[in-house]
Structure 1
Amino acid sequence: MDLKLYKPFFIKFQSLIALFILCLLISLISDKFLTVSNGWNVMRQISVNICISVGMTLVVLTAGIDLSVGSVLALCGALTAGLLKNGLAFPQADLFIGFTILGAMLVGVLAGTFLGAFNGWAITKFKVPAFIATLAMLTIARGLTLLYTQGFPISGLGDDFAYLGTGWFLSIPVPVWISGIVVLLAVILTTKTRLGRYIYAIGGNESASRLSGINISRVKIIVYAISGALAAIGGLIVTSRLDSAQPNAGSSYELDSIAAVVIGGTSLSGGKGTILGTVLGAIIIGVLNNGLVLLNVSPFWQQVVKGAVILLAVIIDKSNSKND
């Protein structure tokens, strides 16, 4: 048997094969894994990572990176919670502005969009490497979150807002619906629109894209703005599910999203990858996290395992790139 004949098959379906093997191993060790309740629990948990990872995929497809998504998630969640519970008060003008749930959520998403667009602007205007620009935003957004919350959680947001993160619609958790809509829109964007073609073109060869007349700066700013908006949506889900905006929310979310993107087959060099591949990568990360919890693995070892998986995925990606 010539294994080389099957190599393209394994490369194409490596994420799916990895998910199958992972599920098989965990189900053999834990009888709690293959249950309906645990399945919905996993899907609810990965909904946030799917939203963030979709935005991260668009960024990585342009050969960029966004390390600020976890901090943006925390800041936007805190803004939404604060406006919903306390509104805006201007004592000097004897003015108070209250916010509906929809209004507070809209402010949160707009804030995430602005922060993402600022990342894109800094990267394109001043030629700051994406790693440095988004690392700076990670620190800035985390600091603003701590300033806004004074280091204390904002809790007691009400049952109506909690429905976003804990409710069910047509027997499916609401966060799963939200992540499904995000994925659908992203698939349409990347496969059916001019912007999607530009994203792949820039990641494939930025110099050639510029010579062909593509506005590189505009596309990158839009992509980072989308990443920020999706991080904000993730922040709304997390805040709603916990009924609290935690100042340290979103820690390590950037690592989970990068892991989902790379495991899903998107090349860190840009220009190659799919949204559905990222969804599969997010499911793998979610199943891995869930399995480690069910097996009572120490949280410290969970970090070690997750880091090893990311490293392995990058090594496989580089190996496949050399063979192309």
Structure 2
Amino acid sequence: MTEQQLALPTEHAATGTATRPARYTAAFTPRNLLRAIGTGNLSLIGALAVIVAIFGWLNDGYLDPKNLAGIGDAVTVFGLLAVVQTVVIICGALDISVGSQAGVASVISAMAFTATASNALLGVLAAIGVGLVLGLVNGLIIVYGRVNPVIATLATLAAFKGLAQLISGGKAQGFVLDNDIFIFLARGKVLGLPVPVIILAIVALGVHILLKYTDIGRNLYAIGGNDTAARLSGININKYLIAVYVLAGVVAAIAGIILTARTGSGQPVSGSEGLELKAITAAALGGCALKGGKGTVGGTLLAVILLGALDNGLNVVGVNTFWQNVAQGSLLVAAVVIQQRRSGERAVGLPT
């Protein structure tokens, strides 16, 4: 084997000093560093820095460590939904019903807790079981009913919301803040970090590993990128779609459990309404192509933090909370427009 093949340092003829082959240093060039971070993520980091600087200048309390920690705690519920929405979008689909699923899970966790003589573990397991069933219903409707995912989950958004209101009578259910487990989920800390943030980190890390380092993840990208080619290569698209929606239901249930712990009761609508818009906005803003086949958990988390920083900043400076919805809608439109421009797709209605 030659010296070049071994990639050992070579001696410079003139000076006698050892020099390292180019491929040792190539990984540390600015271009490769930029490629590793991603231009989309770099722009999100820049936007986040601008937002923090502006609101920090407008209000000194914005940069208070307690407020910054509060931002992290506040984004956990919709952050969980955004992470799993990333998986759904990569697969070339969409789940508009995740907010309603979280509402059903929230009610079920509190009602099961009350019905089992304050057994928090059974309340949690009941909520996760219901989330699994709701996700399975979405998957079966889409796969075997041959319904477009947007239409299917738009229908179940309304259906699940109605289900949560029916089983709860339209009112908050139970009281869980006299239980140590729910108190720990809501206010506990591990190594100084709030428990909800740790749960978000664990779920995000698990999904990141799934997408980046497993055959399942590669198949999901393949399905979203070109479902015909994926099918011809032997990938069972129906099974993957059902599994993805089941995963979405389970993660939505976890978000609902955190919502129950945070509010102290099962919430059929309050607290879960509008979460689907935030989740989709974060995923799109984080670089997910809505047509599928592209997206990362890291980009989505950056977008989640950015949206949380923006919402908190608007509250801190006293801006009407309704403007938050305007900002979210505007960011979603901006993210989609940027994606269209980068992909080179023709705008709808304009001549080629």
TM-score (norm 2): 0.84
> 107-116 or 73-82: which moved more?
107-116
Aligned to 1:275: 297
1:118 matched to 2:118? The reply is: no
Q: After TM superposition, give the deviation of residue 59 of structure 1 in Å.
A: 0.4
Q: After TM superposition, give the deviation of residue 63 of structure 1 in Å.
A: 1.2
Q: After TM superposition, give the deviation of residue 99 of structure 1 in Å.
A: 6.4
> 109-118 or 257-266: which moved more?
109-118
Aligned to 2:254: 233
Aligned to 1:71: 100
1:28 matched to 2:47? The reply is: no
Contact 2:110 2:266 in 1 (8 A): yes
Aligned to 1:95: none
Aligned to 2:121: 102
Q: 1:134 pairs with 129, 146, 153, which one?
A: 153
The DSSP-based 3-state class of the residue aligned with 2:171 is coil
Aligned to 2:311: 289
Q: Aligned ranges for residues 185-196 of structure 1 at < 5 Å?
A: 185-196=206-217
Contact 1:124 1:217 in 2 (8 A): yes
Q: How many matched pairs?
A: 307
AA aligned to 1:281 is: A
AA aligned to 2:144 is: K
CA deviation string 1:109-133 (max 9, x = no partner): 1211111121111111121000111
AA aligned to 1:45 is: A
Q: Aligned ranges for residues 158-307 of structure 1 at < 5 Å?
A: 158-160=178-180, 161-249=182-270, 250-307=272-329
Which structure 1 residue ranges, 5 or more long, are not aligned?
1-6, 88-97
Superposed CA RMSD in Å reads 1.6
Distance 1:287 1:156 in 2: 30
Question: Max radius of gyration: which structure?
Answer: 2
1:151 matched to 2:167? The reply is: no
Aligned to 1:92: none
Contact 1:165 1:237 in 2 (8 A): yes
AA aligned to 1:19 is: L
Distance 1:45 1:137, change over 3 A: same
Contact 2:103 2:161 in 1 (8 A): yes
AA aligned to 2:121 is: L
Aligned to 1:94: none
TM-score (norm 1): 0.91
Distance 1:286 1:118 in 2: 31
Q: Aligned ranges for residues 10-25 of structure 1 at < 5 Å?
A: 10-11=39-40, 13-25=42-54
Runs of 4+ off more than 6 Å: none
Q: After TM superposition, give the deviation of residue 155 of structure 1 in Å.
A: 3.5
Q: After TM superposition, give the deviation of residue 168 of structure 1 in Å.
A: 1.4
Distance 2:118 2:129 in 1: 15
Aligned to 2:343: 321
Distance 1:187 1:253 in 2: 21
**More relative contact order in 1 or in 2 (CA 8 Å, sep 6+)?**
1
